[in-house]
Amino acid sequence: MYNVQTIKDAEIIIEALKPFNILEILNELSTRLIPGKHILISLTKGISLKQI
């Protein structure tokens, strides 16, 4: 999906999604995020950090 291609070379990822679809998209990206390389900034309301 295009989300995976978008984060490939990114360092900072800002997500501003509606709560009903954030978990699906983050699940898709989770195997591609690299600790120490990627910084994930969430602007989504109504979801806890634990869920992210």
Distances 8 to 25, 34, 41, 50 between C-alpha atoms, Å: 15, 10, 16, 24
Residue 25 has pLDDT above 70, yes or no: yes
Read off the pLDDT of residues 28-44 as tens digits, 9 standing for 90 and up: 888 888 889 999 888 88
Which two three-digit tokens encode residue 44?
């989504």
Q: What is the DSSP letter of 8?
A: S
Assign 2 a pLDDT band (cuts: 50, 70, 90).
Answer: low
- pLDDT value of residue 26: 82
pTM for this entry: 0.70
Mode of pairing for the β-strands spanning 39-42 and 12-15? parallel
pLDDT at res. 43:
87
Which residues have C-beta within 8 Å of that of residue 40, sequence separation ≥ 6? 13, 15, 33, 52
